[in-house]
Amino acid sequence: MTQMTIIAAAGAAIPAQPFAGRHLIDGAWHDSATGETFERRSPAHDVVVSRSALGAEAEARAAIAAARRSFDSGVWSRASGKERATVLLKVAALIEADVERMALIETLESGKPITQARGEISGAADLWRYAAALARTMHGDSHNTLGPDMLGAVIKEPIGVVSIITPWNFPFWILSQKLPFALAAGCSCVVKPSELTPSTTAMLGGLLIEAGLPAGVVNIVLGYGPAVGAPMTTDPAVDMVTFTGSTAVGKAIAAAASGTLKKVALELGGKNPQVIFADADLDSAADAVTFGVYFNTGQCCNSGSRIIVHEDVAEALVARVVALSRQVAFGDPLDPRTQVGAIISQQHQGRIDGCVRDAVAAGAEVALGGAPMTVPGLAGQFYQPTVVRGVTPDMAIAREEVFGPVLSVLTFRTLDEALALTNDADYGLSAGVWSENVHTCLAFCRRAQAGTVWTNTWMDGFPELTFGGVKQSGQGREIGPYGLEEFLEVKTLVMRIGRSRAPWVKTL
């Protein structure tokens, strides 16, 4: 662990009392019927930071019923685009006014650096604003070329009640990739956040009430997946499920939802490559690779967890990445200088370490890191910045999602070989290409099997640009105009003008 940048405990004040989370059902806050609660300990500081009502099937069914009533009543589903947009804009303003409170609890629950939590919360407000714009501008189509006596219209209506199930790694951002777009479409929703990071979702519930969202339009149930998530995926009163998380759980949700043929949108795992050609700007590429693998401690579906680098520059690039990795500040997430925080749980830390050990046993070499680390003054779990080279395509570390601060390095010689390595994966979420030759970049972009391809950059995103994966990285799209379309049903209207239709029944 020598020559690494470690930020010791900052001594920042942690709230004396844990945040108390409750269910939001039909516009009112509720404890669980059983009175049970569950706690979340900070993965960095090992203290209790939140205590939430433990939901079960009863709370899930009540939330679904409330959402169904609100949707069928038309209080939101038949509101005008202007009315919906007005509420969404109020929510955006309230989020921005509450960034510090929400970022602190997210940092404590997730272990991510406070600066990244602030960026996540404040950036999510822009998603709400963009969704508000879509609420006022969505439209269908008209067809006036069907003949002089016919007029056709294709209209878009909200799909209905939507179950939203979100993960722990970006709890507020990913919720904001889904919820405001569902609301812009006119849907009613039931939300279940991860039991590891439930509190910012509960906080948002209070902001929704303050913004004037009608009761029952958004309902929040806290708790564990089997008890709460199962009814949300199988209840006939639910019209759609949108889920972000692991591919294994996504498959289980799709199977469960198939019984009622409800729509399912899935944003799942990734094993995202950055391909670096010999003519690339190596300094820029190395910095982006370092950012891509360590951002959010590598616990990111978009993590650039494998690089595929041309043999001629592989040694030089790896040397740059290792040098930069030593400068990345790992440590106390409450210190604003920290760039990489804690691992979400001890179990997950053990899985990360196991992936690295298996790679070494298979013949790979650890160029940096490769073990858990301690941070002075903190009792939580942290993992060293890790670079593994000598990786071959058949190794598990080259194919499976590690979800930690671990970079795998593979090499290539030709464009075709780089594309073969890129596409030889079950996943297809994102990819990147680094070259000064625009023809190389365009050829790669068109042939890479990924929902997003970045060129000479990594993980830049905008509300206007849709996000989603192919293959086992999921189905459906989020944000952008296509993110709104996910929550809409298309209906065709056929209208005859006057009495021009000839009678079908003939008088004999």
Q: Which residues are catalytic?
A: 267, 301
Could you tell me what percent of the chain has a pLDDT over 70? 100
pLDDT in tens, 278-302: 999 999 999 999 999 999 999 999 9
Amino acid at 54: L
Catalogue all structural domains in the chain, each as residue range(s) with its CATH number. Answer: 13-268+473-492 (3.40.605.10), 273-455 (3.40.309.10)
Could you tell me what percent of the chain has a pLDDT over 90? 96
Q: Return the bridge partners of 411, or none.
A: 309
Of the pLDDT bands very low, low, confident and very high (cuts 50, 70, 90), residue 461 is very high
Of the pLDDT bands very low, low, confident and very high (cuts 50, 70, 90), residue 507 is confident
Note the pLDDT of residue 502.
85
pLDDT at 1 over 60: no
Provide mean pLDDT across the span 248-253.
96
Provide mean pLDDT across the span 167-194.
98
pLDDT in tens, 40-83: 999 999 999 999 999 999 999 999 999 999 999 999 999 999 99
pLDDT at 275 over 50: yes
Note the pLDDT of residue 85.
98
Of the pLDDT bands very low, low, confident and very high (cuts 50, 70, 90), residue 469 is very high
Q: For the ranges 12-16, 41-45, 282-286, 475-479, which has the lowest average pLDDT?
A: 12-16
How many Å apart are CA 205 and CA 208, to the nearest integer? 5
* Phi, psi dihedral angles at 4 (to 5 degrees): -120, 155
Provide mean pLDDT across the span 201-224.
98
Residue 41, Cα to own-chain centre: how many angstroms?
Answer: 22
Provide mean pLDDT across the span 305-311.
98
Provide mean pLDDT across the span 352-371.
98
Provide mean pLDDT across the span 357-384.
97
Note the pLDDT of residue 314.
98
Provide mean pLDDT across the span 490-498.
95
* Phi, psi dihedral angles at 265 (to 5 degrees): -115, 130
User: Using an 8 Å Cβ cutoff, are 118 and 100 in contact?
Assistant: yes
* Phi, psi dihedral angles at 16 (to 5 degrees): -65, -30
Please give the torsion angle defined by the CA atoms of residues 453, 459, 465 and 467, in that order, rounded to the nearest 10 degrees: 70
Provide mean pLDDT across the span 233-240.
98
Provide mean pLDDT across the span 246-275.
97
Tokens read off for 396: 């598990």
Note the pLDDT of residue 2.
56
Residue 413: left if φ>0, alpha if ψ -120 to 50, beta else—which one? alpha
